[in-house]
């Protein structure tokens, strides 16, 4: 298949979307609006949740009538050509769960390389929590139990990421500590925030909640600084 390079869209959600805000579709509608067609092909990757069947059903129900939906369950492979399937989508939507497990399975099956190839061809990559952190070089995860640093993300986006910044009380301190100890500077997203990157650069920060915030967290002169970034409420 010949691949034509297009703008590379990645949307990283700190929280929200159909699984956390079933009655507030603003972030999901924003993602669908980036697709190349009006009724896009949207594939759900539930790897981080162990391919939870309930999660998959929730996805199909949420996007019914708005998109042509499918899922790719790596725990239940059916023999399809994974590369061709991924490249044939308009949006890849990655669910939450264990970032560590997600990365391990993707790399074993070669899905990490095909997702990068698809993104270069114009397929929108999006996700929540683990499905957002995975695109970055590093971040903070509870995949090991206690919150801790993760240093081997896919690296499609530079720096680090922390989801659920206002939704889980331990997140801010864990992220600031990790950055102080050498984790790359990055972004912390409240629940209801989506950071939209185009060709690796932050293009917009949109929210489904009026006061949700995206924060820049970085080391400066031996201190960790946290700076709120401009956001646009979609409501």
pLDDT digits (tens), the chain, 235 positions: 445 568 999 999 999 999 999 999 999 999 999 998 999 999 999 999 999 999 999 999 999 999 999 999 999 888 889 999 999 999 999 999 999 999 999 999 999 999 999 999 999 999 999 999 999 999 999 999 899 999 999 999 999 999 999 999 999 999 999 999 999 999 999 999 999 999 999 999 999 999 999 999 999 988 999 999 999 999 9
Asked if 129 is an active-site residue, the reply is: yes
- CATH fold, domain 9-233, is Rossmann fold (3.40.50)
Point out the catalytic residue in the list 49, 143, 160, 164: 164
Taking residue 130's Cβ as centre, other Cβ atoms within 10 Å add up to 26
- pTM listed for this prediction: 0.95
Q: Please tell me the distance from the alpha carbon of residue 91 to that of residue 29, in angstroms, as a whole number.
A: 12
Of 150, 136, 186, 179, the C-alpha closest to 11 is 136
* Alpha-carbon dihedral angle through residues 29, 137, 108, 45, given to the nearest 10 degrees: -10
Point out the catalytic residue in the list 98, 129, 160, 208: 129
**What residue ranges do the domains of the chain occupy?**
9-233
Of 183, 209, 207, 212, the C-alpha closest to 196 is 207
């Amino acid at each position: 298949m010949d691949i034509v390079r297009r703008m590379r869209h990645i949307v990283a959600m700190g929280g929200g979307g159909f699984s956390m805000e079933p009655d507030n579709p603003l972030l999901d509608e924003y993602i669908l609006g980036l697709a190349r067609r009006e009724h896009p092909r949207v594939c759900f990757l539930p790897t981080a949740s162990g391919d939870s069947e309930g999660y998959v059903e929730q996805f199909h129900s949420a996007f019914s009538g708005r998109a042509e939906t499918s899922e790719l369950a790596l725990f239940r492979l059916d023999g399809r050509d994974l590369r061709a399937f991924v490249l044939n989508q308009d949006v890849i939507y990655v669910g939450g769960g264990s970032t560590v497990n997600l990365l391990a399975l993707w790399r074993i099956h070669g899905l990490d390389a095909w997702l990068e190839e698809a993104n270069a061809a114009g397929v929108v990559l999006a996700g929540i929590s683990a499905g957002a952190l995975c695109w970055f070089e590093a971040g903070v995860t509870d995949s090991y139990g206690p919150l801790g640093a993760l240093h081997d993300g896919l690296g499609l986006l530079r720096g680090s990421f922390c989801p659920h910044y206002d939704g889980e009380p331990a997140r801010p301190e864990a992220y600031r500590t990790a950055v102080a100890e050498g984790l790359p500077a990055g972004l912390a997203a409240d629940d209801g925030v989506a950071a939209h990157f185009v060709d690796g650069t932050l293009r917009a920060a949109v929210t489904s909640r009026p006061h949700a915030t995206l924060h820049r967290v970085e080391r400066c002169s031996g201190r960790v600084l946290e700076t709120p970034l401009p956001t646009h409420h979609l409501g």
